[in-house]
Structure 1
Amino acid sequence: MKLKITFLTIVLFCQIAAAQQKDSIATQEKLSEVVVTGQLEPQSIKKSVFNVRVISKENIKQLAANNLADVLNQYLNITVTSDGNDGRSKVSMFGLDSQYFKILIDNIPLVSDTGMGTNVDLTQVNLDDVERIEIIEGSMGVTHGANAVTGILNIITKKGGGYKWQISAAVQEETVGDEFAFFDKGRHIQSAKIGHNFNENWFVNIGGNRNAMAGFYNNRKGKDYDKLDGLRGYTQLPKEQLVGNAIIGYQKDDFRIFYKFDYFGENVHFYSPILIPQDNYPFPETYYANDKRYITNRFYNHLNANGKMFSKLKYNASVSYQKQERDQEKFNYQIETHEEFDNNRETYQSKEVFYSTGTLSNFFNNDKIDFQLGYEVTNENGFFDATVGTFKDDQQQLTDIRKRLENYDVFSVAEIGLSEKFSIRPGLRFSFQSFFENQYASSLGLRYLFSKGLEVRASLGKSYRTPNFDELYTYFVDSNHNMQGNPDLIPETSTSYELSFKRACTFDSGAQIANNLAVTYLDVNDRIDMVLIQAVPTLVYKYVNINKYKMWNISTTEQYTYKNWNVMVGAGLVGISRKQDLAALNVTSDDKFLYSLRVNSSISYNITKWNTLLAVFYKYNGQQQQYVAGTGTDGKTAFFLNEIKPFSWMDASIRKAFFKNQFEVTVGARNLFDVTNLQSIQNGGGGDTTGGAHGSGSSGAMLGYGRSYFLKLSYNLNFN
């Protein structure tokens, strides 16, 4: 703890020192720092009442990132968790999982298996046409509705360009750990884009991407291995992703309209380690296996129009239709002939969503007052069959489940400039729910600009999270298990507070410094968890609104730019309090705050003479602790402290441009410290009775496949 306090003292001293510079320091406001997320209209990041973090296109290029997981691995307050079996990655912020964090594309929440903008697989979000990524931490329920509890991430895509023709293509080859071959090992990515401005009004962009990950063998032997030793298959499953997108737009004067279409397809292949012999007497035995693949198809449509009406009112309206289907294809694979037979494909999960949102603003002819009215309509139709799990309907009958969830929301936001320096922004949303009780969200934001460029922001937000499909309808009962959903669940409610200090300045030497210090507090009530509700004669678990969650976080980011150098250092200390209750056993966990330290940094240097950029990214994830339920040596159920050991993650790249920046070569490495597993240690506990603990000792969860290397070749041609 002494080390943590010393580190934060140094950071705070840097903040105070920067705030005391002489009048020769001038604040900087760059055109590239225009943001749109949570704003009444696009405006500079300095004028935003929210503390918006921006991940630029340049940051994405330095990481040679192909999907969202590659980028967010380096973000300070976000943890990316990966499933070692199929490579799916989810986001966790402030210790709460992806159900509480909303991901949007051009302000439209992205459909996922069980959510709308939540539970998104980060590896399924391609970044080829991304202009920048904007992140706001804290409750954003007023402007973005349900489940925006810990924050939102908005991907801003590229629309049009400054040239008549824009053509680009890229090829990326990457190892998976130390495994690589051009066809059956490693990661292989190809992409191409073309953009055309027909005239000053019309533009069109078309692109495509293929990302093939051949699986992580580790100690496994692949799909054609024919020995009865359980080594057939892969440690991490192979998968192939195909992405296609197109956008067409028109703009004239104050009117803009665009239509965007995205297609995403993914095949994930599972090869069973169990071989089944075939009797071919008098010939030697042959083998086959019961294999399967998971097939995802997602279609995304977005029509947006914005402009002015009655020469004054500003409007912005979007309509989106999205559909995602997940199929499972079961088949037998003949090892000797490498052929499939008895294929059977069924859709086991699907979701169709109609979504629309719109705003009206600029009601007053007054630069100091603005007012926005908005609406949001969400209509989700979801289907899950018994392949996903067993479900009960409203009549408590075991069946496949098809449910329609709807909400119709109205919200209003005002932005009032009480003076040139002081702005206030209140907001309110009311949500008419088809399945749950009607909900509301509220917010209040304050911004004050002090002298010498110091910006202070404060915000208060109340939001809510609606229960997901599993929490409502799961019913898994056999001789060893009894786990039930609960259709009587109510939405969770949350309150967040944030206070931030920001300053950007320039010295006479040309050096630039930007400082951002933020303190956040989050309180979640009626938190849903699966708890033990009956102990005798059998153990029965059910999802219940029973737990509480509190979090506070202090984080700082320091950005230094001087000549060809760009250095960023960030640190965050997170304290989390979870109150967990086993109702049937009258056992409650300790709710004291448990702390974790996070540090991230990046450094880049531009060698102008060689047109080469060197970049290194580092993140330290400190020890994480949580109470989990288990049985002690006395046979009684209790909560024991579980610890996840700290680990570090480092990426590095070198990018060189040729032929007047038309051709770029990027080489680099991910996970330089070769992290593969998270070590988890439980202090106390003997046997498992609640499903949450398995006694004292240590265990490991797969985080990744270790150190990997990549080479990316990019070609860009722009001309009029």
Structure 2
Amino acid sequence: MQRIHKLYYIIFLTGLYASAQGINQDTLANNLNEVVITGQIEPQSINKSVFNVRIISQADIQRQAANNLADVLNQYLNIMVTPNTSAGRSTATMFGLDSQYLKILVDNIPLVSDTGLGNNVDLTQINLNDIERIEIIEGAMGVTHGANAVSGVINIITKKRALKKWELSVTAQEETAGEEYSPFYNKGRHIQALRAAHNINQNWFASVGVNRNDFEGFKDERGGRDFTGYDPDDLDHQRGYSWLPKEQLTTNALIRFQKNSHRVFYKFEFFNEDIDFYNPVVSQELVTGTGLLKYSFDRIYNTSKFYHHLNASGKLGGVNYNVSASLQKQRRNVEEFKYYIQTGQEVPRLDEVYQETQVLYSTGTVSNIIKSSSVSLQAGYEAVNTKGYGSSLSGIFNNDEQGGTNVDKRLENYDVFAASEIQLTESFSIRPGFRYSFQSKFEDQWSGSFGVRKLFLNGYEARASYGRSYRTPNYDELYTYMVDANHNIQGNAALNPESAHSIEASLKKNFMFASGAILSPSLSANYIMVDDRIELAIVNPQPLQYQYININDYKMWNIATANSFQYKNWQARAGLSFMGISRKINAADTTSDNKFLTTYQLNANVAYSITKAGMLLSVYYKLNGKQQQYVDNGSVSDPGFDLQEIQSFGLLDASIRKDFFSGRLNTTFGARNLLDVVTIRSNIPAGSGVHTAGTNNIAMAYGRSYFLKLVYSLNF
């Protein structure tokens, strides 16, 4: 801990934090005025926002050669990307709260997911080829973004303009998966993309794009699809992949009309993904006329998504308006077949819908209602109509009223909200807000917030805010029903939404020196408290029975510093975050310890540009400290809670970017995970209970990987 304190002291004074923006001399100064829209009454610069907003720019995405959202979020404080290798997906946690508490939006529209709207989103399905920037706001954002925006929101802003009449780009990227790579033999990661944008005339703009991401999986110590080893006593089952192969195709189109103060755009996106699951369990069968063949029951999971977004914004009679309507549909199909390994024969067994969600969503605001230079008022609405279906293959569901094991339910909410920004003096402003939500399934909910911003002498900026938000239960928590000889796990249709309270305060300052150097340190503190947290807990020890119930309390405090430095061709940033988490869990007759368990994160990023050579060198590093939490041991004879520990690990990435042919050809060569992290150790006993994964290792990455990205752009 003493070393950490020394490191914190050095970081805060030197401010070595990697720039998330471009590489020219005026970049950071320009970023101080970069326009943000997330949670604002009107688009405004970062330094005028009452909320703390972090920006991930297009330049930063390019430096990391990031193709999806999981690629880029790994390097940011208070965020942890958690892969699920058995399902082929990755989600994000913020402040220790999982992806159900973090809302992910595209152009202010929450994305549909397996279990809801905007939450539990698979980050690997969010393509970044058409992205202008990413805005991150930490803390409760329930007033502006509704249910489940408890730990924060991530808003992805897509491109809607072109600087030239035509902008054409072609992208090819090859990447290894650890040491596994071949462009011809199903190894590594292969990405191709095409984008065309056109300013048709003064008023009309259109763009189209397509992206293919082919990840061939990561075997590690497994044998792949055609592994023929068979040993009935081998419980490790070496067939298959440690990370499942998957192929993704994303297509999008946008058309925009703008005249005077009015703008209308329509965006369409189609996403398709195939995930190949190769069952590690191999059996054998005597086939007449062929002999003894080894086989396994394999599956292909296909996900298709349709995304429609129509938006209109502008000014009528001096009042600003912004209205969006969105229709999203996600369907996951599963195809299961019997695969004979030696012959390659596939015998179909089933092909059916695995999960389906359809969401009709609309939101709108009017602002500048009061004609005053010191008062801004915004009023808005949000309407959500979600229809969800899950088959018994995706988890066994209790659906007695429909007489089956599948679930087919509709959830609706209709919200109204208002927020005001009041400039009490030139240096002091406040922002109150309130939302009321009319719920079809639960009792009506509400969110509230109050923020202040104060500018002091010598350029110091102070912000503080309070927010009250809520999270509604998902389908698994409401309807799961898994009861057999070995399990008794039940959902609870009577669950109440969780309520959360968030407090945030920050102080920042920009120092500009005569030499041209810019130093920008900041210090922030957060506190989040979640009441009635939903947990799968023991409700009956004999016989052992689990059920989702509102029993838990969750508390989190966080102190962080983020510091940036820019001088000539150097840009750097460094940050450090300390966090304490308290979880009180009740199960049967036992209660867990609710003391605060601490952890830390550190990140640093350095960029150096060689102007004459047209090169940019970048290094990213993030250290995730040891994590601890109490876990139900699942014991019937001696129930209790064990302290789980997950080891610390670091992620180090580096890249070299070089331009050719007057910038038309851009090449980026680099490496991810230079420290070669594959799994991280945990002291969870294998098979210790329903809460555990049954393993002592947690898959975090697939080892040291190298990439080469080529982008050819033609603008005229």
TM-score range, shorter chain: over 0.9
Match of 1:161 in 2: 162
Letter in 2 for 1:608: T
Match of 2:660 in 1: 658
1:590 to 586, 590, 593: 593
What displacement does 1:286 show? 3.8
Superposed CA offset, 1:370-428 (max 9, x none) = 10000000000000111111111264955211100000000000011111111110000
Determine helix, strand or coil for the equivalent of 1:142.
Answer: helix
Tell me the distance in 1 between the aligned counterparts of 2:74 and 2:708: 19
Match of 1:289 in 2: 296
Match of 1:572 in 2: 577
Letter in 2 for 1:155: I
Match of 2:272 in 1: 265
Letter in 1 for 2:713: N
Match of 1:5 in 2: 5
Match of 2:146 in 1: 145
2:615 to 612, 615, 618: 612
Q: Mind listing any 5+ residue stretches in structure 2 that lack a counterpart? A: 16-27, 232-236
Match of 2:126 in 1: 125
1:218 to 220, 225, 244: 220
Match of 2:21 in 1: none
Closer, same or farther in 2 for the Cα pair 1:14/1:659, shift >3 Å?
A: closer
Q: Provide the alpha-carbon RMSD of the alignment.
A: 2.0
Q: Mind listing any 5+ residue stretches in structure 1 that lack a counterpart? A: 16-26
What displacement does 1:365 show? 2.2
Q: Any residues of structure 2 matched to 1:373-452 within 5 Å, and which?
A: 373-393=379-399, 395=401, 398-452=404-458
Match of 1:670 in 2: 672
Closer, same or farther in 2 for the Cα pair 1:31/1:600, shift >3 Å?
A: closer
Letter in 2 for 1:309: L
Superposed CA offset, 1:616-640 (max 9, x none) = 00000001110112278x9522222
Tell me the distance in 2 between the aligned counterparts of 1:303 and 1:601: 39
Matched, 1:78 2:79: yes
Determine helix, strand or coil for the equivalent of 1:46.
Answer: helix
Aligned residues: 698
Tell me the distance in 2 between the aligned counterparts of 1:306 and 1:156: 16
Superposed CA offset, 1:658-699 (max 9, x none) = 1111101111000100011111125xx8994x534699xx91
Determine helix, strand or coil for the equivalent of 1:399.
Answer: coil
Tell me if the contact between 2:449 and 2:467 (Cα under 8 Å) persists in the aligned partners.
yes
Letter in 1 for 2:378: Q
Match of 1:19 in 2: none
1:233 to 237, 240, 243: 240
Superposed CA offset, 1:477-518 (max 9, x none) = 111110100011000000000001122232100001122211
Matched, 1:554 2:554: no
Letter in 2 for 1:714: V
Matched, 1:209 2:206: no
Tell me if the contact between 1:294 and 1:328 (Cα under 8 Å) persists in the aligned partners.
yes
Q: Any residues of structure 2 matched to 1:447-462 within 5 Å, and which?
A: 447-462=453-468
Letter in 1 for 2:690: G
Determine helix, strand or coil for the equivalent of 1:681.
Answer: coil
Tell me the distance in 2 between the aligned counterparts of 1:565 and 1:516: 20
Tell me the distance in 2 between the aligned counterparts of 1:414 and 1:654: 46
What displacement does 1:290 show? 2.0
Tell me the distance in 2 between the aligned counterparts of 1:276 and 1:394: 36
What displacement does 1:87 show? 2.9
Tell me the distance in 2 between the aligned counterparts of 1:231 and 1:79: 29
Identity score, percent: 52
Match of 1:91 in 2: 92
Match of 1:23 in 2: none
Tell me the distance in 1 between the aligned counterparts of 2:660 and 2:513: 33
Closer, same or farther in 2 for the Cα pair 1:108/1:207, shift >3 Å?
A: same
Matched, 1:500 2:527: no
Letter in 2 for 1:588: T
1:519 to 520, 525, 530: 525
TM-score for the superposition, normalised by structure 1: 0.94
Determine helix, strand or coil for the equivalent of 1:293.
Answer: strand
Tell me if the contact between 1:109 and 1:116 (Cα under 8 Å) persists in the aligned partners.
yes
Match of 1:359 in 2: 365
Tell me if the contact between 2:33 and 2:47 (Cα under 8 Å) persists in the aligned partners.
no
Letter in 1 for 2:64: L
Tell me the distance in 2 between the aligned counterparts of 1:360 and 1:654: 46
What displacement does 1:348 show? 1.6
Q: Which has the higher contact order (CA 8 A, sep 6+)?
A: 2
Which deviates more from structure 2 when the two are superposed, residues 275-284 or residues 360-369?
Answer: 275-284
Letter in 2 for 1:672: L
Tell me if the contact between 1:102 and 1:118 (Cα under 8 Å) persists in the aligned partners.
yes
Match of 2:200 in 1: 198
Letter in 1 for 2:558: N
Letter in 1 for 2:66: A
What displacement does 1:280 show? 5.1
Tell me if the contact between 1:390 and 1:398 (Cα under 8 Å) persists in the aligned partners.
no
Letter in 2 for 1:705: Y
Tell me the distance in 1 between the aligned counterparts of 2:238 and 2:641: 37
What displacement does 1:33 show? 1.3
